[in-house]
Amino acid sequence: MNLATKDIRHNFGRFALTTVGIGMLLMIVMGMGGIYRGLIHEAALFVKQVGADIWVVQGGTRGPFAEVSRIPANLEDRVRAVPGVASARRFVSHTIQRQHRGRPLRMVVQGLSWPEDRGDWVPVTAGRPLRQAHYEMIADGSLGLLLGEKVKLGKDVYEVVGLTKGMVGTGGDGLCFFTTSDAEAIQFDVPGEALRLERAARLSRLEGMDLGRVTPLLSERVIGQASELPALAPPQVSAIMLTLQPGTDIAKVAETISTWPDVTVYSRQQQVDLLLSGMVDKAKRQLGLFRALLIIISAIIMALIIYTLTLDKIHDIAMLKLMGARNGVIIGLILQQALLIGVLGYGLAYWLGTYAFPKFPRLVVIENQDLLSLGVIVLGISVFASLMGIGKAMGVEPNKVLS
């Protein structure tokens, strides 16, 4: 007859509540590690998915994922002339929040370098990639947009022609893919009154100059569109993505472009490292701290409960000693109960997590090595929790049964 099983049946309610409580705590511990893994996966997903070998960004900056980067769009033509470069694509990215169907719609706008890049590399789950230079978009499913739905952004209306899944930014906002011209139109859109005031300011500055007074025809130019003014450069992009020809030495191409004083060059892995060491690093440390605290709390709770269960059995333990029971029997009684609480709590945590984690607003990635390490930790907690109870049981005298 197993004494641990017998005692669990006698105190089943307390044992069940303890197991459920420990299981919930372990589920949160498991989820903390999964959220961290999800952050890493989401942060590096776009960089890996887009397939660029080299990123060319503004000189002296660490790239568009770490800080603001602005380079002229015509740099795309310059890098195409570098030996070994197969293709060059403009990269435009910014986050916006608009009202749509009466609710906030927050998205990361990604510009595709039309017509070279139509979004064929985007994992489309429904619909198709872009086929027009304007007014089409591919949206991530987390945004809640439907295929064929029309979304007004700025002064234009865009149709959702494709849906993807799991394509989110580092902040967890869903990605939307447009052509670069549409992405820039959304980014630099301003109200009509602001345009009117800006043109009036241009005219006022011109009239205050000698050139404006002797050349009145210039006034017709300055009150026109900014894109028609030759002195004003077109909108800048965040980066240029390069794809190299097969067999090309990445380091050699990067070294060549690095000699240009106006740009900085990063490889794909360097861009991923910048993401993980910057935006994700603080979240990693914070989640790790919470995870450690929860593990300590779980150990303390289990130790107190096992100790309480042992106190309830003081009379029974004294009776066993009086009957000549070995210390191993009593130690096994307490240790087996602690291990059962840990193992069942771990199993409950995993079972609950399989249903709860997919419903989290951020991706939760549970890897086998994390499950294995947590299992070892749970076993250690169970053994530690039983030590207080075992120490108390070993100090019980057989004559205690007479008191």
Amino acid 159: pLDDT: 92
Residue with tokens 């990067």: 254
Local mean pLDDT, 10-residue blocks, the chain (403 residues) = 60 77 86 83 79 86 80 86 88 86 88 86 90 91 89 89 86 87 84 70 66 57 57 73 88 88 87 77 80 81 76 67 67 78 88 87 83 86 77 66 54
| Strands 103-112 vs 85-100: parallel, antiparallel or unpaired | antiparallel
What is the per-residue burial (b if ≥16 Cβ within 10 Å, else e) of 274-284?
Answer: bbeebbbeeee
Residues 194 and 265 reside in one and the same domain:
yes
pLDDT given for residue 1 in this prediction: 41
Residues 54 and 193 in one domain: yes
Verify that 153 and 284 share a domain, yes or no: no
The pLDDT score that the predictor gives to residue 315 is: 67
Quick one: 19 and 69 in the same domain?
no
Query: What b/e string do you get for 237-267 counting C-beta neighbours within 10 Å, with b at 16 or more?
Result: bbbbbbbbeeebebeebbeebeeeeebbbbb
Residue where a domain stops, chosen among 255, 279, 303: 279
- For residue 365, give both structure tokens: 């990635």
Q: Exposed, middle or buried, 214 (CB in 10 Å: 0-12/13-18/19+)?
A: exposed
Q: What is the dihedral of CA 78, 79, 82, 87, to 10 degrees?
A: -120
Examine the domain organization and report whether 38 and 56 are in the same domain. Answer: no
Boundary of a domain, candidates 279, 314, 345: 279
Residues 338 and 362 in one domain: yes
Question: How many domains does the structure of the chain reveal?
Answer: 2
Task: Give the closest residue to 294 by CA, choosing from 21, 60, 3, 91.
Answer: 21
> What is the domain range of residue 185?
49-279
- 200 and 297 in a single domain? The answer is no
Pair 74, 36 in one domain: no
What pLDDT was estimated at residue 33?
A: 82
Residues 292 and 270 in one domain: no
> Tokens representing 294?
């929860």
Alpha-carbon span 228 to 202, nearest angstrom: 14
* Residues 96 and 201 both lie in one domain: yes
Verify that 323 and 290 share a domain, yes or no: yes
Domain boundary pick from 279, 302, 322: 279
**Cα dist from 164 to 52, 107, 206, 357, whole Å:** 20, 13, 50, 20
d(CA 212, CA 207): 5
Q: Which candidate, 46, 64, 51, places its Cα nearest to that of 116?
A: 51
Is residue 104 located within the same domain as residue 168? yes
